[in-house]
Amino acid sequence: MFGFIIQRLLATIPVLGMVAVFVFLMLRLTPGDPAAVLAGDNGSPEQVAEIRESLGLNEPLVVQLGIWIGNILQGDFGQSYFFKKDVAELILLRVEPTLALATTTLIFTIMVAVPIGVIAAYKHGTWIDRAVMAFSVAGFSIPVFVLGYILIYLFAMQIDLFPVQGYKSITDGFWPFLHRLILPSITLSVIYIALIARITRASVLEVLGEDYIRTAYAKGLTPNAVLLKHALRNAAVPIVTVIGIGIALLIGGVVVTESVYNIPGLGRLTVDAVLGRDYPTIQAIIMVFSFVYVMINLLVDLTYSLLDPRIRY
């Protein structure tokens, strides 16, 4: 087990290396010049050239890449072109809102999706099952930004239950913090609830047909005990896999949701950095996200061995 973790952690090095090179080249291959953005609409060609020179953008690509990677290895992600700040500091400032949003979304998703999936499987073929499936299809189909605005309109403008937009740090008190996160979390969770409920239903349904479920009933267990003690744990591996993928995808959803609800998190930072052609910031954010992906995958794999004694590393 310990050896497996070390092995996997070592394996992140080549992964992140490849991501670094790929991101660096992709950004420089896409059109748009950071110097032109910084110079503004009225900047003269001379000014633009001057800025390019000062940012080091005139160096050959390989040299730029070398300098960037060399700096990362020393823990320096560089200066943001746009915000004129250390990128590391910039990201740290924005981590809290995103982390908060992702966590509440995840908790809400699991609390809703797993139970309704299990119930749908148990009540397979009844109206409850069909209702859950219908919700699932609707959840998949509705875009995050549309749902976001609908919820704002209903719950923030028509009945004044939640604030329209904004974010308060947890240091300002738990309720104000949570109050502003509820609508964004629901918005973001709907698609994941749809996805995870479906997988839970399919997975539990398959397990309910297994011989050991029949054995459990033959022992005189109640349906609840059979579902919770025997079915759910055996159905858990695919569910955890999808939750893992869901967390990874969540980061994409965060970008939109943070814009809709005006939350100053990493998602908003990403949008701003892309619009400003802020190479160092974009590169750093993607590196951070990739690292998070790799760690989530490791966590998911470790969870497998907790759930299923047959899986050992």
Catalog residues that contact other proteins under the rule CB under 8 A: 3, 7, 210-212, 214-222, 225, 229-230, 233-234, 307-310
Task: Please tell me the distance from the alpha carbon of residue 96 to that of residue 264, in angstroms, as a whole number.
Answer: 9
Q: Shortest gap between Cβ of 164 and other proteins (angstroms)?
A: 47
Please identify, using beta-carbon distances, which residue of 159 and 218 lies nearer to other proteins.
218
Q: Shortest gap between Cβ of 1 and other proteins (angstroms)?
A: 12
Q: Shortest gap between Cβ of 15 and other proteins (angstroms)?
A: 17
Q: Shortest gap between Cβ of 220 and other proteins (angstroms)?
A: 4
Please identify, using beta-carbon distances, which residue of 28 and 229 lies nearer to other proteins.
229
Question: Phi and psi at residue 40, in whole multiples of 5°?
Answer: 85, 180
Task: Please tell me the distance from the alpha carbon of residue 276 to that of residue 267, in angstroms, as a whole number.
Answer: 14
Cβ density class 224-263: b for 16+ within 10 Å, e for less? eebbeebbbebbbeebbbbbbbbbbebbebbbbbbbbbeb
Please identify, using beta-carbon distances, which residue of 129 and 258 lies nearer to other proteins.
129
3-state class of 64 per DSSP?
Answer: helix
Please identify, using beta-carbon distances, which residue of 7 and 54 lies nearer to other proteins.
7
How far are the Cα atoms of 93, 95, 167, 181 from residue 170, in angstroms, in the given order?
13, 13, 9, 11
Please identify, using beta-carbon distances, which residue of 6 and 95 lies nearer to other proteins.
6
Q: Shortest gap between Cβ of 7 and other proteins (angstroms)?
A: 6
Please identify, using beta-carbon distances, which residue of 40 and 220 lies nearer to other proteins.
220
Task: Please tell me the distance from the alpha carbon of residue 260 to that of residue 59, in angstroms, as a whole number.
Answer: 39
**Using N-to-C axis directions, what is the helix angle for 266-275 and 232-260, rounded to 10°?**
50
Q: Shortest gap between Cβ of 107 and other proteins (angstroms)?
A: 24
Task: Please tell me the distance from the alpha carbon of residue 309 to that of residue 172, in angstroms, as a whole number.
Answer: 44
Q: Shortest gap between Cβ of 199 and other proteins (angstroms)?
A: 18
3-state class of 86 per DSSP?
Answer: strand
Tokens of 115: 């139970």
3-state class of 97 per DSSP?
Answer: helix
Residue 16: burial class (beta carbons within 10 Å; 0-12, 13-18, 19+):
middle
CA-angle at 277, arms to 272 and 279, nearest 5°: 105
Please identify, using beta-carbon distances, which residue of 180 and 230 lies nearer to other proteins.
230
Please identify, using beta-carbon distances, which residue of 96 and 206 lies nearer to other proteins.
206
Q: Shortest gap between Cβ of 67 and other proteins (angstroms)?
A: 36
